[in-house]
Structure 1
Amino acid sequence: MSDEGEPEPGPEADAGTETGVEPDGERRTIGDPAALKALAHPLRLKILRHLAVSGPATSTTLAAALGENTGTLSYHLRRLERGGFIEDVPERPNSRERWWRAVRGLDVRRPAQDEMTDGERAVAGALDRMRLDEDIELARRFTEEQAESDGWMRGSRSLSHLTKEEVTAFHDAYLDLLTRFARGPEDAPSDAKPVLLRWFALPVE
């Protein structure tokens, strides 16, 4: 998770993310520690990733996809709803089950360290570790599979000399770029694939 902000689900993000956009093209910001706590659970991250990749689902279809029982899924879906990460699908109001989709256009921002309690910092750290494990696996896959990906795996490494303000500006420009290209499974053309995108910057020590 970035201290400056990280698009999320719509979902990983992670999930955004894995993120979409609101109809007016604006991102919605979530920075409440309680909302971050709703994310800090491996099954909830899996739920968000599934919704981001496959589109709307019920607790029954999620249970089948993730190998969990519907009672467990219903509990975690309610937690994600309270956190502002998922919502009802309004086009299916008469369904016998609730259909859920990831909220589009989220920008999840970690509160400043001095604004969090020890418990909230522990939750943020746990979420970071879960994401780190995933990102290490993604880096391994990129290294091993990029050459045979037929152009689907693209990446870049660079070095520049920037002020802190310029790093922030670069980050905000990246979020704008994500918004420009963001799309959910319902809106994607037939030849599109779900693609995980990452970026981070750190000063040379």
Structure 2
Amino acid sequence: MKDDEPYVLDDPDRLKALAHPMRRRMLTHLNVHGPATSTTLGELLGAKTGTTSYHLRQLEKYGFIEEIPERSTGRERWWRRAQIPRDMRLPTPDQVPAEDRAVLEEFHRIGYEEDRVLFERFPAAYQADPAWARGSRGLARMTRQDLDAFYEEYIALLLRYSRPADEAPPEAARCTSASSPCPRTRADLRRPSQRVTAQVSLLSVNRLGGDASPVWLTR
């Protein structure tokens, strides 16, 4: 499989491995800041080393991270993000066995909470430097086929402009982008604050000071 080919994370065990806030934060740290040990991650997350070691082993078990043998000595083990597809997607509920759908719902819940934190951070980021905080929202009339095409082009655009760390120029910043198009109903017209019919929200925030979901994971 090529690095940019879509990969659906429909294995319930792998999905469950990521449906945990601490593991998500650990994986994001490794993705953004590079290799770390369980001790380093414990200090950053305010957790005991035994706890971080357990969660690291779970991430390793399901192929999301790997040990760096040449840097590991004695009881100190260094970890890095494994080579996994950049375009990793979540399954739809009908692609998951009924008994495992609660895991998918929890995964979404964690992701939406991360999105909420990112969204709330946007005004301050915009005030600090408008050139690095771009927000856009709009209303479009789309068919299901149009929305499918829009989604695929959006992901392709992310992959096009997302450089690997070793290929990014010095002036590059870590940015997070989120898009949540969904149908608008008549009721939404009376509740303008609610997410809304092919309204497309695109949010890009300078990620230099915080954590968010890896850009390769879409839902």
Contact 1:62 1:73 in 2 (8 A): yes
User: Is contact 1:87-1:102 (8 Å) kept?
Assistant: yes
Question: Number of paired residues?
Answer: 181
- In structure 1, the partner of 2:80 is 101
Change beyond 3 A, Cα 1:166–1:88: farther
Q: CA contact under 8 A between 1:55 and 1:184: conserved in structure 2?
A: no
8 Å CA contact retained: 1:39, 1:45 = yes
* Change over 3 Å in CA distance of 1:84–1:106 after alignment to 2: farther
- Which 5+ residue runs of structure 1 have no aligned equivalent? 1-21
Measure, in 1, the Cα distance between the counterparts of 2:98 and 2:27: 26
Say which of 20, 32, 35 aligns to 1:53.
Answer: 32
For normalisation by structure 1, the TM-score amounts to 0.76
| CA positional deviation for 1:87 | 2.4
Deviation at 1:28, TM superposition (A): 5.9
What letter matches 1:155 in structure 2? G
Which residue identity is paired with 2:105? G
Large movers: runs of 4+ above 6 Å: none
Change (3 A) 1:87 1:183: farther
The answer on whether the counterparts of 1:52 and 1:184 sit within 8 Å (CA) in structure 2 is: no
CA distance in 2, matches of 1:113, 1:133: 19
1:80-119 to 2 correspondence within 5 Å?
Answer: 80-89=59-68, 93=70, 95-96=72-73, 97-103=76-82, 104-119=84-99
Equivalent position SS for 1:162: coil
Shift of 1:41: 0.8
Superposed, which structure 2 residues align to 1:69-148 within 5 Å?
A: 69-89=48-68, 93=70, 95-96=72-73, 97-103=76-82, 104-148=84-128
* Alpha carbons 1:33, 1:120 under 8 Å: kept: yes
Structure 2 residue runs of 5 or longer lacking an equivalent are 186-219
**Structure with a larger share of its residues in strand:** 2
| Preserved CA contact (<8 Å) 2:71 2:78 | no
Q: Secondary structure at the match of 1:158?
A: strand
| 1:149-188: CA deviation from partner (whole Å, max 9, x where unpaired) | 2411112112222221221121111111121122344443
Structure 1 residues 175, 190: CA separation in 2 closer, same or farther (over 3 Å shift)? same
Distance 1:187-1:63 versus aligned 2 partners, 3 A rule: farther
1:166 alignment partner in structure 2: 146
Q: Give the TM-score normalised by structure 2.
A: 0.72
